[in-house]
Amino acid sequence: MAESAEEIYERALAAADADGRLPMPDVHEWETFPFEGDLRVRPLLPPVEAEPPRNGEDARECWRCTNGVRDAIWSDERWLLVPLPEPSGLPLVVILSTREHVDIGELSPQLASELGTLIVRIERAINRLEGIGRVHVCRWGDGSFHFHIWFMARPARLPQVRTNLAAIWDDILPATPADVWRANYTLAARALAESGGISHV
Ligand SMILES: [Zn+2]
Protein backbone atom coordinates (compact mmCIF):
# COMPACT_ATOMS: atom_id res chain seq x y z
CA MET A 1 0.00 0.00 0.00
CA ALA A 2 1.28 3.43 -0.90
CA GLU A 3 2.17 5.88 1.84
CA SER A 4 -0.25 8.73 2.47
CA ALA A 5 0.90 12.30 1.87
CA GLU A 6 0.96 12.78 5.65
CA GLU A 7 3.23 9.78 6.11
CA ILE A 8 5.62 10.99 3.40
CA TYR A 9 5.60 14.47 4.93
CA GLU A 10 6.34 13.17 8.43
CA ARG A 11 9.17 11.01 7.15
CA ALA A 12 10.59 13.97 5.23
CA LEU A 13 10.43 16.24 8.29
CA ALA A 14 12.30 13.62 10.30
CA ALA A 15 15.10 13.73 7.71
CA ALA A 16 15.11 17.55 7.45
CA ASP A 17 17.05 20.17 9.38
CA ALA A 18 15.56 22.50 12.01
CA ASP A 19 14.10 24.73 9.26
CA GLY A 20 12.39 21.78 7.61
CA ARG A 21 14.89 21.73 4.72
CA LEU A 22 16.05 18.45 3.20
CA PRO A 23 19.67 18.19 2.02
CA MET A 24 20.52 19.17 -1.56
CA PRO A 25 20.39 16.12 -3.88
CA ASP A 26 23.30 15.16 -6.12
CA VAL A 27 21.54 16.82 -9.04
CA HIS A 28 23.52 20.02 -8.44
CA GLU A 29 26.66 18.09 -9.40
CA TRP A 30 25.28 17.09 -12.80
CA GLU A 31 26.93 18.69 -15.80
CA THR A 32 23.44 19.61 -17.01
CA PHE A 33 22.37 21.41 -13.80
CA PRO A 34 21.90 25.04 -14.89
CA PHE A 35 22.54 26.85 -11.61
CA GLU A 36 25.52 27.47 -9.36
CA GLY A 37 26.20 29.13 -6.07
CA ASP A 38 24.79 28.44 -2.64
CA LEU A 39 21.52 26.64 -3.17
CA ARG A 40 19.22 25.06 -0.64
CA VAL A 41 16.06 23.04 -0.80
CA ARG A 42 12.84 24.84 0.03
CA PRO A 43 11.10 23.66 3.18
CA LEU A 44 8.55 21.00 2.22
CA LEU A 45 5.01 22.30 2.65
CA PRO A 46 2.50 20.11 4.46
CA PRO A 47 -0.12 18.15 2.49
CA VAL A 48 -3.28 19.95 1.32
CA GLU A 49 -6.79 18.56 1.67
CA ALA A 50 -7.27 17.73 -2.00
CA GLU A 51 -5.54 18.06 -5.36
CA PRO A 52 -6.21 21.47 -6.93
CA PRO A 53 -8.29 21.33 -10.13
CA ARG A 54 -6.38 21.45 -13.40
CA ASN A 55 -7.00 23.99 -16.14
CA GLY A 56 -9.97 23.16 -18.32
CA GLU A 57 -11.27 20.11 -16.50
CA ASP A 58 -14.72 21.10 -17.75
CA ALA A 59 -14.70 20.86 -21.56
CA ARG A 60 -16.67 24.14 -21.77
CA GLU A 61 -13.73 25.92 -20.14
CA CYS A 62 -10.99 23.90 -21.87
CA TRP A 63 -8.74 26.05 -24.09
CA ARG A 64 -8.10 23.22 -26.53
CA CYS A 65 -11.79 22.30 -26.88
CA THR A 66 -12.92 25.91 -27.31
CA ASN A 67 -10.25 26.68 -29.93
CA GLY A 68 -10.65 23.80 -32.37
CA VAL A 69 -7.69 23.41 -34.72
CA ARG A 70 -6.45 26.95 -34.02
CA ASP A 71 -2.64 27.16 -34.03
CA ALA A 72 -2.31 23.56 -35.23
CA ILE A 73 0.58 22.92 -37.60
CA TRP A 74 -0.58 19.36 -38.30
CA SER A 75 -3.75 17.39 -37.65
CA ASP A 76 -5.68 14.28 -38.52
CA GLU A 77 -9.17 13.14 -37.55
CA ARG A 78 -8.28 12.53 -33.92
CA TRP A 79 -5.04 14.41 -33.16
CA LEU A 80 -3.54 17.91 -33.29
CA LEU A 81 0.06 19.10 -33.18
CA VAL A 82 0.66 22.66 -31.95
CA PRO A 83 3.92 24.56 -31.27
CA LEU A 84 4.36 26.68 -28.17
CA PRO A 85 2.62 30.05 -28.74
CA GLU A 86 5.98 31.86 -28.69
CA PRO A 87 9.47 30.59 -29.56
CA SER A 88 11.38 29.30 -26.57
CA GLY A 89 15.03 28.53 -25.93
CA LEU A 90 15.14 25.09 -27.53
CA PRO A 91 14.99 24.86 -31.36
CA LEU A 92 11.44 23.47 -31.30
CA VAL A 93 8.82 22.51 -28.72
CA VAL A 94 5.53 21.07 -29.99
CA ILE A 95 2.56 19.59 -28.17
CA LEU A 96 0.46 16.67 -29.40
CA SER A 97 -3.17 16.72 -28.20
CA THR A 98 -6.21 14.58 -28.77
CA ARG A 99 -9.19 16.30 -30.35
CA GLU A 100 -11.33 14.53 -27.77
CA HIS A 101 -11.51 15.95 -24.22
CA VAL A 102 -9.93 13.07 -22.33
CA ASP A 103 -7.12 12.45 -19.87
CA ILE A 104 -4.43 9.87 -20.57
CA GLY A 105 -6.17 7.15 -18.57
CA GLU A 106 -9.33 7.66 -20.62
CA LEU A 107 -7.78 7.12 -24.06
CA SER A 108 -9.74 4.55 -26.06
CA PRO A 109 -7.84 1.48 -27.31
CA GLN A 110 -7.77 3.12 -30.75
CA LEU A 111 -6.34 6.41 -29.45
CA ALA A 112 -3.88 4.59 -27.21
CA SER A 113 -2.48 2.54 -30.07
CA GLU A 114 -2.37 5.56 -32.38
CA LEU A 115 -0.47 7.46 -29.70
CA GLY A 116 2.33 4.91 -29.75
CA THR A 117 2.70 5.21 -33.51
CA LEU A 118 2.43 9.00 -33.44
CA ILE A 119 5.17 9.40 -30.84
CA VAL A 120 7.56 7.57 -33.15
CA ARG A 121 6.38 9.47 -36.25
CA ILE A 122 6.72 12.88 -34.57
CA GLU A 123 10.14 12.03 -33.16
CA ARG A 124 11.30 11.05 -36.64
CA ALA A 125 9.76 14.16 -38.23
CA ILE A 126 11.49 16.53 -35.79
CA ASN A 127 14.76 14.68 -36.25
CA ARG A 128 14.71 15.79 -39.89
CA LEU A 129 15.82 19.19 -38.60
CA GLU A 130 19.54 19.75 -38.72
CA GLY A 131 21.39 20.05 -35.47
CA ILE A 132 18.93 18.23 -33.21
CA GLY A 133 20.62 16.07 -30.60
CA ARG A 134 17.53 14.45 -29.11
CA VAL A 135 13.77 14.82 -29.05
CA HIS A 136 12.55 14.44 -25.47
CA VAL A 137 9.00 13.09 -25.15
CA CYS A 138 7.35 14.29 -21.95
CA ARG A 139 3.98 13.94 -20.30
CA TRP A 140 3.28 15.58 -16.94
CA GLY A 141 -0.40 16.48 -16.96
CA ASP A 142 -0.46 18.67 -13.85
CA GLY A 143 -1.30 21.90 -15.71
CA SER A 144 -4.11 21.25 -18.17
CA PHE A 145 -6.55 18.36 -18.08
CA HIS A 146 -6.95 17.82 -21.85
CA PHE A 147 -4.53 15.08 -22.95
CA HIS A 148 -1.27 16.47 -24.29
CA ILE A 149 2.29 15.29 -24.65
CA TRP A 150 5.40 17.42 -25.16
CA PHE A 151 8.13 16.97 -27.75
CA MET A 152 11.16 19.04 -26.79
CA ALA A 153 13.94 19.10 -29.40
CA ARG A 154 17.27 19.87 -27.82
CA PRO A 155 20.28 21.06 -29.80
CA ALA A 156 23.16 18.68 -30.46
CA ARG A 157 26.67 19.36 -29.14
CA LEU A 158 25.76 21.59 -26.19
CA PRO A 159 26.73 19.16 -23.44
CA GLN A 160 24.87 21.00 -20.66
CA VAL A 161 21.57 21.20 -22.56
CA ARG A 162 20.70 17.56 -22.06
CA THR A 163 18.65 15.20 -19.86
CA ASN A 164 15.39 16.23 -18.17
CA LEU A 165 17.06 19.55 -17.32
CA ALA A 166 16.80 20.51 -21.01
CA ALA A 167 13.26 21.52 -20.01
CA ILE A 168 14.79 24.11 -17.64
CA TRP A 169 17.36 25.23 -20.21
CA ASP A 170 14.38 25.87 -22.50
CA ASP A 171 13.48 28.74 -20.14
CA ILE A 172 17.08 29.94 -19.76
CA LEU A 173 18.37 30.07 -23.34
CA PRO A 174 17.35 33.16 -25.34
CA ALA A 175 14.33 32.50 -27.54
CA THR A 176 14.96 30.91 -30.93
CA PRO A 177 14.58 33.63 -33.64
CA ALA A 178 10.96 33.64 -34.87
CA ASP A 179 11.86 32.88 -38.50
CA VAL A 180 14.01 29.91 -37.48
CA TRP A 181 11.28 28.63 -35.14
CA ARG A 182 8.70 28.92 -37.91
CA ALA A 183 10.96 27.13 -40.40
CA ASN A 184 11.58 24.37 -37.86
CA TYR A 185 7.92 23.66 -37.18
CA THR A 186 7.07 23.93 -40.87
CA LEU A 187 9.65 21.31 -41.80
CA ALA A 188 8.53 19.02 -38.95
CA ALA A 189 4.81 19.34 -39.80
CA ARG A 190 5.40 18.61 -43.49
CA ALA A 191 7.65 15.66 -42.65
CA LEU A 192 4.95 14.28 -40.36
CA ALA A 193 2.26 14.69 -43.04
CA GLU A 194 4.26 12.41 -45.35
CA SER A 195 3.09 9.50 -43.22
CA GLY A 196 -0.52 10.71 -42.73
CA GLY A 197 -2.59 13.66 -41.60
CA ILE A 198 -2.42 17.20 -42.99
CA SER A 199 0.22 19.88 -42.55
CA HIS A 200 -1.35 23.30 -41.95
CA VAL A 201 1.90 25.18 -42.63
ZN1 LIG B 1 -10.58 19.75 -23.86
Residues 46 and 64 in one domain: no
pLDDT of residue 14: 96
Same domain? For 28 and 74 the reply is: no
Same domain? For 11 and 82 the reply is no
Are 147 and 188 contained in the same domain? Answer: yes
Compute the distance from residue 138 Cα to the ligand 1 centre, in Å: 19
pLDDT digits (tens, 9 = 90+) for 30-59: 999 999 999 999 999 999 999 999 999 999
Domain span holding position 64: 59-199
Question: Do residues 72 and 186 make contact, with C-beta atoms less than 8 angstroms apart?
Answer: no
pLDDT tens readout for residues 69-126: 889 999 999 999 999 999 999 999 999 999 999 999 999 999 999 999 999 999 999 9
CA of 56 to the centre of ligand 1 (A): 7
With residue 189 as reference, give the H or E element that holds it.
helix 178-193
Residue 78: how many other CB atoms lie within 10 Å: 15
Both 72 and 164 in a single domain? yes
Mean pLDDT for the stretch of residues 190-198: 98
Q: What is the pLDDT of residues 142-157, one digit of tens each?
A: 999 999 999 999 999 9
**Same-domain status, 14 and 80:** no
- Tally of domains in the chain: 2
Predicted TM-score (pTM) of the model is 0.94
Could you tell me the distance, in angstroms and rounded to a whole number, from the CA of residue 64 to the centre of ligand 1? 5
CA of 194 to the centre of ligand 1 (A): 27
Residue 42 CA to ligand 1 centre (angstroms): 34
